[in-house]
Structure 1
Amino acid sequence: MSDKRLWKIKPVQNVRQRVLGGYLHELRELAGLSQKSMGKKVGIDLFTFIDQIEKGRVAIPEPYYDAFAGAYGVSSADFRRFCNSPLQSFDHHYTLLLASRPDRILAVSDQCW
């Protein structure tokens, strides 16, 4: 999908998308990526599009789910489940998503000892 086509995606204005955007912002920071480096990793040259996703103004285009999952360091299946979950279960799915990151599991187990 070309970057020009990304900007033609209809803006999303709802609470669910804004909350999801906040979680995606946190995932990007946990992965240690800037918006610009995230854009490069997922194949989107317009890094401002990442900002629009994180602010909940647009949704991640379906063809990019696997690329985003890889950049965040989580499984594609878990990421799709998280992105498609209802607002009420975001916390639950986000916890499962974080648990699928090997580096996060080690960090949690290190704190327990």
Structure 2
Amino acid sequence: MARILVVDDAAFMRLRLTDILTKGGHEVIGEAENGLEAIEKYAQLKPDLVTMDITMPVMEGIDAVKGIKKIDPNASVIMCSAMGQQQMVLNAIQAGAKDFVVKPFQADRVLDAIKKIV
């Protein structure tokens, strides 16, 4: 079981991910709507893993990954991208993300990605 921080600017996406994660036996310990909030919550909650949306207001997911990696170089982040964001996903992996899942979320793919990392 992992303690997870869910980051997405869309409330319904956070809800969908939280549903998948809790049914998969994980604990969602916090949520954030943008990258800046994600960095603050990461420092505060120290989750085992972060699911990070790429495109968000205030601060993009890639910048947030860099910010989280400054706090904890061993942080585990899984990027969540829409179709057609391959370049951004590549940038996110280079910034330190460990894996990515594509929206709309497939429960088994999300849980497999987490299992590989935790």
Does the alignment reach a TM-score above 0.5?
no
More strand by share: 2
TM-score if structure 1 supplies the norm length? 0.29
TM-score if structure 2 supplies the norm length? 0.29
